[in-house]
Amino acid sequence: MFYITTAIDYTNGSPHIGHAYEKVLADVLARWHRMQGEEVYLLTGVDQHGQKVQQSAEKAGVSPQEYANEVTAQFIALWKRLGISYDGWAATTDPRHERCVQRILMELKERGLLYKKSYTGFYSVRQEQFLTDKERREGGDFGPEWGDVIELEEENWYFRLTDQAEWLKGFVEKSSSFVLPNFRKQELLYAIERAFDNDLCISRPKERLSWGIPLPFDPNFVTYVWFDALINYISFAGYLAEEGSALPRFEKLWPAACEVIGKDILVPAHGIYWPAMLHAIGLPDEDMPGLLVHGWWNLKGSKMSKTLGNIVDPNELADKFGVEALRYYLVRDIKTGHDADFDPDRLVMLYNTELANDLGNLCNRSLNMCMKYSGGIVSAPEGDDELSSELRLSLSKMESSFSDAMNQAQVSEALAALNAHVKACNSYIEQKQPWALAKSPEKKSELDRALGHLLESCAHAAFLLGCVLPDASSRMLTQLDAARLLQDKTPDSLAWGILPAGHSVHAPAPVFPRILSEEEKARSAAKMAGRRK
Ligand code: MSP
């Protein structure tokens, strides 16, 4: 079982391409593991509680639940549009989740791992949060962004995080799979050295924040949003679920959990609070999840943010360039773990070159030539000439690189390997010149071999692309009439000979229509108008 989850998105604002990237990445990995024949469960969802949602709701003049529902609907619609194949939906206002959070709180309290204490500190009225020395400016004061800062005494509930420090340090040091990529593990270890001065405050007084899960043992408080949200990974996996619940069985999904999260929420939430919480509730080291930490999409080198007003809307991109171009770009132009700069010109360039020109053209030409020269029937003559044997080798090398890269979540590398082979096929066409072979009847078997090789490569490429662009893949496989031939295949069992001798293919239809620039569109409109005259 491969249990894969993503961060759950805050419902205090509309989805942007950062959210979309993470879900597409998780979806591609889930599809890849399904193709491998593994049983996969992909969980994603929304983080609906907390101060930000309460504030946005107040501004909009609606209840926090109404506000969260409205934003949740936007996420759901986007995931549907982008083809995110999730199996479970984690919404933190779901009563099944609330119940699980409350049961965990009760248990920790009964075991003496939670305590109440009073804290006096500097509080920003505008931001509604306590400030620490980290928020002080060089001169020692707090900046104007915090508004009025007052000294406030407040009682709250705390989780004994400091008790977990020794264990966590040892665990992270020795584990080779808890955090990937490896440089993030170093970052986490560095943070752990500094993180444990204080226990974790896990409550907020109701008079300050009412939009949260009430503490089951103290009705004047609600649960801190991170403590609530992190639990989604286990609550929706069936942890402490009621008898007869429709949730999955926890023992089935856990511990094979891979949590796909952005770099900003590794420290302290996922790298410190979360393993400490899991350890405190009794999970052994071997049951800790793995964290796949991805980088960020930035815009012209700077962070995308609502305040800067430079958020890129995935729906607008999908309207303009299509879902497939967007999905492809989001995983093709970023190295998993690292940041990248979002650039719509590169989106168009990568789609037009690698999909429209390279792969689209390859399938189109190969099918067309097979229709024209062999009546749409594939034949597979024995033996290889030099060029064909090179192409066969290129295909098998591509497949192992593709697999290796995907198994390490390096989708961009996998797609680069695929594209390199597609390019090799296109140069094979140029070198073989099937149209010239077709002129000499004695070259018939060389022609058949060339077309057989090309169509075989198309079938393999279309199959592998299925984890990134499932719809395009299925359109290609339909034209090749190869879907049923690949039904029981996994990438590892993808040997030569998918298309048997005598197999019929269909006439092609463009799978990746070129994205035209505004100029090209204007030119082609003018041409059309000229023709009509
Ligand atoms: N609600 C918390 C997560 C709780 S998980 C128990 C949260 N939500 S978020 O909406 O702010 O972010 C959701 C995910 O999107 C995070 O993994 C975050 O890193 C990711 N991204 C947000 N902006 C991003 C980019 N610009 N680029 C890539 N991913 C980004 O954090």
Give the distance (Å) from ligand 1 centre to CA of residue 527. 46
Entry pTM: 0.96
**What separation in angstroms does the CA of 44 have from each of 22, 100, 515?**
10, 17, 31
Which bin fits 9, alpha (ψ -120 to 50), beta or left (φ > 0)? beta
Query: What was the pLDDT predicted at 385?
Result: 93
Give the distance (Å) from ligand 1 centre to CA of residue 497. 44
Q: Which helix (H) or strand (E) holds 419?
A: helix 411-432
Ranges of beta strands (E only) in 51-199 are 88-91, 114-124, 129-131, 149-159, 179-180
Beta-carbon contacts of 99 under 8 Å, excluding residues fewer than 6 positions away, are 240, 242
Tokens at 344, concatenated = 């719509």
Pocket of ligand 1 (CB under 6 A): 7-10, 18-19, 21-22, 47, 229-230, 232, 261-262, 264-265, 296-297, 304
Query: What was the pLDDT predicted at 452?
Result: 97
* DSSP code at position 296: -
Is residue 20 a contact partner of residue 82, using CB atoms and an 8 Å limit? yes
Query: What was the pLDDT predicted at 125?
Result: 79
Give the distance (Å) from ligand 1 centre to CA of residue 88. 18
With the most atoms of ligand 1 within 8 angstroms of its CB, the residue from 9, 330, 333 to mutate is 9
Query: What was the pLDDT predicted at 522?
Result: 86
Give the distance (Å) from ligand 1 centre to CA of residue 291. 14
Query: What was the pLDDT predicted at 530?
Result: 83
**pLDDT (tens place) for every residue of the chain, 533 residues total:** 999 999 999 999 999 999 999 999 999 999 999 999 999 999 999 999 999 899 999 999 999 999 999 999 999 999 999 999 999 999 999 999 999 999 999 999 999 999 999 999 999 877 778 898 888 999 999 999 898 899 999 999 999 999 999 999 999 999 999 999 999 999 999 999 887 778 999 999 999 999 999 999 999 999 999 999 999 999 999 999 999 999 999 999 998 799 999 999 999 999 999 999 999 999 999 999 999 999 999 998 889 887 788 889 999 999 999 999 999 999 999 999 999 999 999 999 999 999 999 999 999 999 999 999 999 999 977 889 999 999 999 999 999 999 999 999 999 999 999 999 999 999 999 999 999 999 999 999 999 999 999 999 999 999 999 999 999 999 999 999 999 999 999 999 999 999 999 999 999 999 999 999 888 888 888 888 887 76
- The runs of H, that is alpha helices, within 36-150 are 51-60, 64-81, 95-110
Q: Which residue shows structure tokens 């073989």?
A: 432
For 387-412, the pLDDT digits (tens) are 999 999 999 999 999 999 999 999 99
Query: Helices 386-407 and 444-465: crossing angle, nearest 10°?
Result: 10
- Closest-CA residue, ligand 1 atom 6, reads 230
Which bin fits 464, alpha (ψ -120 to 50), beta or left (φ > 0)? alpha
User: Closest ligand 1 atom, CA of 7?
Assistant: 5
With the most atoms of ligand 1 within 8 angstroms of its CB, the residue from 100, 265, 307, 308 to mutate is 265
How many C-beta atoms surround the C-beta of residue 43 within 10 A? 24
